[in-house]
Structure 1
Amino acid sequence: MSEQTRVQGPASYFPSIEQRYGKPVSHWLELLASLGERKHAEQVAWLKAEHGMGHGHANALVAFHRTRA
C-alpha cells in the first residue's frame, strides 16, 4: 500500500478493532449512536467499561463517530 492510499486517522484502527473484538465497526458505531448526546470522554469510558475496549480503540471509534454526526 502506498503512502497515498494508506488509511489515516481514526479509521486506521478499524481492522484491528474488528479483529480484536470480533464485531464490525458498524456495530460499534450503532452502539455509539444509541448513547445520544454524551460527551466524547463519556462515550470512550462507556466502551471501555461496558465492552472491555482499550482506550486507543475506543477513542478512535468515538472520534470517527463524532465527525460523522
Structure 2
Amino acid sequence: MADDKVMGPASYFPSIEKKYGEPIDYWMTQLESVSDLKHMEQVAYLKTEFGMGHGHANALVGWFRQHRA
C-alpha cells in the first residue's frame, strides 16, 4: 500500500543500517552521548567520528531530536 511508505528521516534507516553495519538503536545511543550539542554539531559528530555521509547523519539527528524524551 502506498500509505505504508516510510517518510521523513526514517526512510533512510534501512540504508544507514546496511552501509554502517549498526542498528538504529546504536546510533541513538551515540547521539545520546552528545545530546547537549546543537543539531549541526551532532551531525558533524557523526560525520567526523564515524565517517557518515551528511544525509544519513542529518536524518539520524533529526529523528533523535524529534523522538527523544
Query: What range is the shorter-chain TM-score in?
Result: over 0.9
Which residue identity lines up with residue 18 of structure 1 in the other structure? Answer: E
Q: May I ask how many residue pairs the two structures share in their alignment?
A: 68
Deviation at 1:14, TM superposition (A): 0.1
TM-score, length-normalised on structure 2?
Answer: 0.95
Matched with 1:11 is 10
Shift in Å at residue 37 of structure 1? Answer: 1.2
**C-alpha separation in 2, matches of 1:37 and 1:3:** 37
Counterpart amino acid of 1:10? Answer: P
1:59 maps to what in 2?
58
1:43 to 2:42 alignment: yes
Q: Is the partner of 1:36 in helix, strand or coil?
A: coil
**Residues 1:24 and 2:23 are matched in the alignment:** yes
